[in-house]
Amino acid sequence: MPQETPRSRTEGSERALNEAYDTALLDLDGVVYAGGEAVPHAVASLEAASGRGAQDGRGTSAGRGTQGGRGMRLAYVTNNAARTPATVAAHLTRLGVPAEEADVITSAQAVARLIAEDPGVPEGARVLCVGGEGLRVALAERGLRVVESADDDPAAVVQGYGGPQMEWGALGEAALAVGRGVPWFASNTDLTIPSGRGIAPGNGAAVEVVRIATRWMRNPPEPRVAGKPLPPMHRETVIRTGARHPLVVGDRLDTDIEGAHAGGVDSLLVLTGVTDGHQLLAAPPAHRPTYVDRDLRGLLTGQPEVTGEAESGFRCGGWSATAGADALELDGDGDPLDGLRALCAAAWTAAGEGTCGLAADTALKRLGLAG
């Protein structure tokens, strides 16, 4: 369950995270790769965290994980329902990342289980599928039959990202079926996705099309959603990995970190993706990570403790941070990440259950983290 009191600071860990947790539940885009290429330090760090590498990239031994010295298990968890786990694993392998098909968990798998377990959907039922190969394969694995027309008597409608070539007519068929009262599901509702050319519409945008087209109904329906940050995705991941003490690793506060919070598990935010210092300091309780680090090398080390109180200032490493009347104030020197951790404590304590509105640009500029 999510913690009852708001997190007011990041936590410390004397043990390396790959020793303290049995499984890393890793987001992909912005964490492992970006634009199709591996994020710097990702390959070596994951090899070491899983026990396959000799060193962690910082010159210290690694791989003494919780699984009999073999290192932590690596699981790759993605909201993208377009690609099959086999395709994702092949991509990771080409990048040099240790991955097998069974290590990949997608929102397509999570929504397929959600549909198959729905009491109103008979075994082997027809499902009107608006999505790519990954979603179709996941439905077939659950014994569900894919159809493409509202006139094929579907027992459910499901939407998943199908790539930029998705046909407009497929959304029309989904809207017709939902308008007839057919149960509606979605792999995820991310409005946008990153691409090599910039930000593109995601599955959430396609879901909005069907939602708009069914507004005429007296009680317009809402889809049952499986992907991060909602519980079905976390459940699917735990079932498939057998994780007992997992650590969610991500770059997004509103999916990765919120999903960890909803599942009641710890999280590591890495600053290789979309989240910047301003967003982290303004994070509401459900978006506050357990740990923060630059990149995946953070799996291979302990995490420094933040000490102090609001009145005396929060300290981490050589830095001290306080919440002033109008701005967050920072003093000291040392590792910029320690300064960011101290600032988080000052900001989150000042915000309580809300968001911190204090100016932070001067403090973040001093750390070289202003964006």
Picking from 296, 269, 352, the residue whose alpha carbon sits closest to that of residue 18 is: 296
CB 82 within 8 A of CB 134: yes
CB 300 within 8 A of CB 17: yes
Label residue 200 exposed, middle or buried (CB < 10 Å: 0-12, 13-18, 19+): middle
The C-alpha angle 267, 270, 274, rounded to 5 degrees, equals: 115
Whether the bond between 85 and the residue before it is cis, its omega within 30 degrees of 0, is: no
Q: Is 256 designated active site?
A: no
Q: Is 29 designated active site?
A: yes
What is the spatial distance between Cα 264 and Cα 209, in angstroms, rounded to a whole number?
33
- Other CB atoms within a 10 A radius of the CB of residue 325 amount to 6
CB 320 within 8 A of CB 312: no
Do the strands 192-195 and 198-201 form a parallel or antiparallel pair, or are they unpaired?
antiparallel
Q: Out of 22, 29, 251, 338, pick the active-site residue.
A: 29
> Whose structure tokens read 């040099």?
96
E-only strand ranges, the chain: 23-26, 33-34, 37-38, 73-78, 104-106, 126-130, 145-147, 156-159, 184-186, 192-195, 198-201, 224-225, 246-250, 266-270, 291-293, 307-309, 313-316, 319-323, 328-332
Q: Out of 27, 103, 256, 266, pick the active-site residue.
A: 27
Active site residues: 27, 29
